[in-house]
A and B are shown apart, each in its own frame.
Chain A
Amino acid sequence: MAFHAARSALTREKRRGALSHYHGTLAALAADTAGADIPQRVRTFTQAARDDILAAFAVLRGIQAAAIVVHGAAGCAAASIALAEADGARWYAVDLSERDSILGGEAPLRATILRAIADGAQTVFVVGTPVVAINNDDVHAVLLALASETAVPIQYVNTDGFRSKSPLTGFDVAFHALLRLVEAPDGESTSAEADARHAPRGFVNLLAVSENTRNIAAITTTLSAFGIAWNLLPRLARPENIRRAGRARATISLNRDESEYFGLGLEAAQGVPYPALPAPIGLAATRRFVLELGAIFGRAAQAQAYADAQEAALRELIDARPLAGKRVFLQTDTALVAGLGALLRELGGEVAGVALSSVDLNNRAHLARLDAAGDIPALVAVGQPFELANVLAHTALDYYIGPEQVAFAARLGARPVSLANIIYYGYEGVRAFAAALAAPVPDFRERVRDVYSEGWLKKNGAWHLKREVR
């Protein structure tokens, strides 16, 4: 049975051999993950980390006219305070009590789903939590009963917070639910007008999850500039954007670590090609991205002209090598590390260390593409700032670039650049990224307090890791 046809997605560990704990050097990490079976490690000390539920939220939150029903205690939906988008999904917590955790939460779940539908939801996603997983609530029975009462599609996103050590599993579980909403090739079109608009060239599915909207806009602008129509999902997607994904000419991901499951699933189920394009970050990767898409859509000449014009406009910046001689630590997803590393090199800098979210059988090739100067420190971790603290305390840096821990890096004297709110995708990203690195930053060296013991900062950073015994 194909993976997408199963009842739920497998964990990243089972499907891709994902490694989520490593502390060493890049060369050692590459060697360690080169075999058919990636050896797993466990931490004997950990800090707060994201789980599969939060990753699923990231996939679902931007879907318009949808309801996210969090089947758990009220706190399991607390992240909605930060993640809810004004034009995205509406959030509901089933608000299970201790009593429900003993007697079962099926009745309050049913009531919450019916409320969401009454409030106008066109699609309902029920997100699982540890309480219902441990209590073994029969969510499928509730959904089956409701299927005869409502035409609104209700999908179970079977997350539980503890099945996988890799939070990235949650992306797959949520995309598994989305795949079930895609119409079969012979399905009735619900968006004839949109189809007519895109004819005769068709459109590309553009998968975007965690990227800030300006990064997404940088790529949609690029696609439109050389005449390719796009179907953005799951961010800002309407239900019909998901339903018609099977009629696309191709699917591309802005970050394959997040959305590969959907691309591969759609390719397997409906034959929509999912070419192995690099993340469009930096001049070289963006050129390849543009040219390959141009070829797929019969717009090769337009793509070539567009890429040439954009690169010519950036030539002065690249020739100036604004990062010449600068050592940079990169914290990012593995699927993006080669692109960001190349962008740094294009600007004259060098990668002096990396922290990656997960390394697995599918994305390990990016480690070689990073083309780092010499053997550099490498971490594999989600969160775990204490590990980063240890590495940063031993590494001379000019810049620290990442979505997290930037204030801590600043304390150690590196210039911090947060990826959270800047543009780094596409040609627009080259200029914006260089500008962000050139922007003045306050001196935080004495301002950010440190909670880590001297002993830990001096220790070998792998002191707390042990090999997993199966």
Chain B
Amino acid sequence: MSNIENPRTGCALHGALATLEAIEGVVPIVHANAGCAIQHALANQDTGGYIGGQSVPATNIIDKQVIFGGGARLREQIKNTAKVIDGRLYVVVGSCACAMVGDELTGMAREAAEQGVPVAASNVAGFHGGVHRGYERVLLDLIERLPELESTPPHREEDARPLVNVLGLVPGGNPYYKGDLEELRRILEAIGLRANVFFGPDGYAALRSLPHARLNLVFSRWGEALAARLEEKYGTPQLIFDAAPLGIEEVSLFAQALVERLDLDAGAAERFLEREEALAEYFLLGAANRYFDEGVGKRVALVGDTEIVLRIGSFLSRFAAVDIRTTIHTDRDDDEDIPAYFDGDTHASRDSGEIAAILRASDIDLIFASALETDVARALDVPLLVISPPSRDRAPGGQTYAGLRGAVALGADFLTLIRQARRTDEENAKRRIVAGRG
């Protein structure tokens, strides 16, 4: 299907913007007609960081610049952005309009950089694809330019722990990505590593540390090109996972792989995992009776990027023996071959109408999807847990469905969901009884 009913994220420009906004100290400069950056702000309200929404510098080009070129307007904008907004690095990002009229972003950025203003550019345009493409593209462009932007190398801490880069978790790719990254950082640091997540307060300084990592950890296919380029450029090896780990089994395997690869203290990792497992049991297995009372083995559908579908599906299969009837991957092209991760049907779609039709045809008890699936969940009379964007009214805060804390949170949310489902069933049964009374 070429068109999309109710898009669920934005375009490549929006992905690039979400990525830059999440790196503290980095200021994007959007070279586009007015509206492009606001569409992003409206669509991705929970991805912003240091700068976002209406604060993002943007050239807001008009017809004159579309006809005669917007180079002069961009030059003026770069110069004045540095005067008005504090930033460590300014990154010009393009748009469909400036790509079509052929404005030269890289040259403009280089011109400013030669005058001492730290500016890079990324020739991203909305029609290059979805938000994931924007994440990939803008970070690839930054990897190319980082060494030139400041002459002094980033401050090296006295910390002797090996640094690892965390790649592939796309800002806005799932509503809880900020919490996911912090949970991964917590686990990595507990087993003796320093995590370079570069999104959040570590920001620009961490971004500049990308070349100094001992290993690149990739948690989805959207990080693979980045890791490959870092390996090519700096010789950093990579370790690729299909998804971020969730639950004690996955986290143990993850930790074991890192201990072996980087020759870490296996005892320290083991002690951490034992303590975490005990905590997880305390929180989750204390409620074991309730899980069995409410009924395990539910039939579920999962809708989201492959990474979150795989992460949550794998955990729920083990933890609650769910039967995964349907998975719908929202970051894949329609004609793409998707590995059969689970026994149920596998689909690729970003189209809300098509997704609703697939869900209606599925025999399911629970839906793990986005807020756009609220109506179909209501129509099917099954509970919905939001795991993919848009999350609409649900503000994610620091919540996570990754690692060990994420497992506890998901276990609790799952229990809440099946309780709601049971109550709904009971209410429906009561209504039938009352309706059948003579």
Q: Do chains A and B interact in one complex?
A: yes
In whole angstroms, what is the CA distance A95 to B96 when docked? 12
Least CB separation from B78: chain A residue = A45
Let me know if B50 and A162 touch, CB within 8 A: no
Let me know if B11 and A75 touch, CB within 8 A: yes
- The yes or no answer to A26 lying at the interface (CB within 8 A) is no
Let me know if A54 and B97 touch, CB within 8 A: no
Most chain A CB neighbours (cut-off 10 Å) among B10, B53, B81, B84: B84
Let me know if A47 and B56 touch, CB within 8 A: yes
CB distance from B132 to the nearest CB of A (A): 12
In whole angstroms, what is the CA distance A386 to B101 when docked? 29
In whole angstroms, what is the CA distance A66 to B53 when docked? 29
Let me know if A131 and B100 touch, CB within 8 A: yes
- The yes or no answer to B80 lying at the interface (CB within 8 A) is yes
Let me know if A47 and B83 touch, CB within 8 A: no
Let me know if A131 and B96 touch, CB within 8 A: yes
- The yes or no answer to A303 lying at the interface (CB within 8 A) is no
Let me know if B3 and A92 touch, CB within 8 A: yes
Least CB separation from A390: chain B residue = B84
Least CB separation from A466: chain B residue = B76
CB distance from A218 to the nearest CB of B (A): 24
CB distance from A9 to the nearest CB of B (A): 15
321-378 of chain A: CB within 8 A of chain B: none
Residues of A with C-beta under 8 A to B61? 162
- The yes or no answer to A320 lying at the interface (CB within 8 A) is no
In whole angstroms, what is the CA distance A82 to B40 when docked? 10
Let me know if A78 and B9 touch, CB within 8 A: yes
Let me know if B38 and A49 touch, CB within 8 A: yes
- The yes or no answer to B416 lying at the interface (CB within 8 A) is no
- The yes or no answer to A141 lying at the interface (CB within 8 A) is no
A451 in contact with B51 given A96-B127, A456-B83 (CB within 8 Å): yes
User: Which one, B28-36, B176-184, B240-248, is touching chain A?
Assistant: B28-36
User: Which one, B41-49, B142-150, B337-345, B428-436, is touching chain A?
Assistant: B41-49
Least CB separation from A55: chain B residue = B35
In whole angstroms, what is the CA distance A162 to B95 when docked? 13
Least CB separation from A449: chain B residue = B50
Residues of B with C-beta under 8 A to A76? 11, 39, 126
Most chain B CB neighbours (cut-off 10 Å) among A50, A53, A94: A50
Residues of A with C-beta under 8 A to B85? 386, 451-453, 456
Residues of A with C-beta under 8 A to B76? 44-45
Residues of A with C-beta under 8 A to B2? 94-95, 108, 111-112
- The yes or no answer to A100 lying at the interface (CB within 8 A) is yes
- The yes or no answer to A379 lying at the interface (CB within 8 A) is no
- The yes or no answer to A84 lying at the interface (CB within 8 A) is yes
In whole angstroms, what is the CA distance A91 to B83 when docked? 40
Residues of B with C-beta under 8 A to A7? none
User: A91: which of B6, B53, B63, B392 is its contact (CB, 8 Å)?
Assistant: B6
Least CB separation from B84: chain A residue = A456
In whole angstroms, what is the CA distance A48 to B37 when docked? 6
In whole angstroms, what is the CA distance A93 to B39 when docked? 13
Map CB proximity to B onto A446-470 as digits: 1 under 8 Å, 0 otherwise: 0001011101100000001000000
Least CB separation from B1: chain A residue = A115
Residues of A with C-beta under 8 A to B30? 48
In whole angstroms, what is the CA distance A163 to B59 when docked? 14
Let me know if A80 and B57 touch, CB within 8 A: no
- The yes or no answer to A256 lying at the interface (CB within 8 A) is no
Let me know if A92 and B5 touch, CB within 8 A: yes
- The yes or no answer to A6 lying at the interface (CB within 8 A) is no
In whole angstroms, what is the CA distance A458 to B359 when docked? 57
- The yes or no answer to B62 lying at the interface (CB within 8 A) is yes
Let me know if A47 and B97 touch, CB within 8 A: no
A451 in contact with B42 given A48-B58, A51-B35, A162-B97 (CB within 8 Å): no
Map CB proximity to B onto A154-171 as digits: 1 under 8 Å, 0 otherwise: 000000111111010000
A163 in contact with B86 given A45-B77, A73-B11 (CB within 8 Å): no
- The yes or no answer to B322 lying at the interface (CB within 8 A) is no
CB distance from A232 to the nearest CB of B (A): 24
A453 in contact with B4 given A78-B43, A131-B127 (CB within 8 Å): no
In whole angstroms, what is the CA distance A457 to B161 when docked? 42
Let me know if B40 and A78 touch, CB within 8 A: yes
- The yes or no answer to B347 lying at the interface (CB within 8 A) is no
Map CB proximity to B onto A37-72 as digits: 1 under 8 Å, 0 otherwise: 000000011111111111000000000000000001
Residues of A with C-beta under 8 A to B81? 45
CB distance from A382 to the nearest CB of B (A): 8
Residues of B with C-beta under 8 A to A48? 30, 34, 37-38, 41, 53-58, 60
- The yes or no answer to B125 lying at the interface (CB within 8 A) is yes
Residues of B with C-beta under 8 A to A2? none
User: A93: which of B7, B44, B100 is its contact (CB, 8 Å)?
Assistant: B7
Least CB separation from B49: chain A residue = A449
In whole angstroms, what is the CA distance A112 to B87 when docked? 43
- The yes or no answer to B390 lying at the interface (CB within 8 A) is yes
Residues of B with C-beta under 8 A to A46? 57-60, 77
Least CB separation from B54: chain A residue = A383
CB distance from B52 to the nearest CB of A (A): 9
In whole angstroms, what is the CA distance A115 to B351 when docked? 12
Least CB separation from A386: chain B residue = B84
In whole angstroms, what is the CA distance A6 to B39 when docked? 29
337-370 of chain B: CB within 8 A of chain A: 350, 353
Let me know if B55 and A81 touch, CB within 8 A: no
In whole angstroms, what is the CA distance A131 to B84 when docked? 31
Let me know if A93 and B4 touch, CB within 8 A: yes
Let me know if B38 and A453 touch, CB within 8 A: no
Let me know if B33 and A98 touch, CB within 8 A: no
In whole angstroms, what is the CA distance A405 to B6 when docked? 28
A81 in contact with B58 given A73-B127, A75-B11, A452-B84 (CB within 8 Å): no
Residues of B with C-beta under 8 A to A96? 127
Residues of A with C-beta under 8 A to B8? 81
- The yes or no answer to A101 lying at the interface (CB within 8 A) is yes
Let me know if A47 and B62 touch, CB within 8 A: no
Residues of A with C-beta under 8 A to B353? 119
User: A101: which of B4, B9, B65, B96 is its contact (CB, 8 Å)?
Assistant: B96
- The yes or no answer to A135 lying at the interface (CB within 8 A) is yes
In whole angstroms, what is the CA distance A108 to B127 when docked? 14
- The yes or no answer to B14 lying at the interface (CB within 8 A) is yes
Map CB proximity to A onto B9-25 as digits: 1 under 8 Å, 0 otherwise: 11111100000000000
Map CB proximity to A onto B85-104 as digits: 1 under 8 Å, 0 otherwise: 11100000001110111000
Residues of B with C-beta under 8 A to A92? 3-6
Let me know if A161 and B6 touch, CB within 8 A: no
- The yes or no answer to B110 lying at the interface (CB within 8 A) is no
- The yes or no answer to A77 lying at the interface (CB within 8 A) is yes
Residues of A with C-beta under 8 A to B392? 81
- The yes or no answer to B128 lying at the interface (CB within 8 A) is yes
- The yes or no answer to A217 lying at the interface (CB within 8 A) is no
User: A47: which of B4, B44, B57, B96 is its contact (CB, 8 Å)?
Assistant: B57
177-200 of chain A: CB within 8 A of chain B: none
Most chain B CB neighbours (cut-off 10 Å) among A52, A54, A92, A160: A92
In whole angstroms, what is the CA distance A57 to B4 when docked? 17
- The yes or no answer to A268 lying at the interface (CB within 8 A) is no
Q: Which 9 A-B pairs have the closest CB atoms?
A: A75-B11, A51-B35, A48-B37, A45-B80, A78-B43, A161-B33, A78-B10, A51-B34, A82-B42
A–B complex contacts, Cβ < 8 Å, 13 sampled = A45-B80, A49-B60, A74-B7, A78-B7, A93-B4, A115-B5, A119-B353, A134-B100, A161-B97, A162-B33, A383-B54, A405-B54, A451-B27
A interface, CB within 8 angstroms of B? 44-54, 72-84, 86, 90-98, 100-101, 108, 111-112, 115, 119, 130-131, 134-135, 160-165, 167, 383-386, 404-405, 449, 451-453, 455-456, 464
B interface, CB within 8 angstroms of A? 2-14, 27, 30, 33-45, 50-51, 53-63, 65-66, 76-77, 80-81, 83-87, 95-97, 99-101, 125-128, 130, 350, 353, 375, 390, 392
| Extra 16 A-B pairs, beta carbons < 8 Å, given A81-B9, A162-B61 | A45-B57, A48-B38, A49-B54, A50-B38, A51-B33, A75-B7, A75-B14, A77-B7, A78-B7, A79-B39, A82-B43, A112-B2, A130-B95, A130-B97, A162-B63, A167-B35
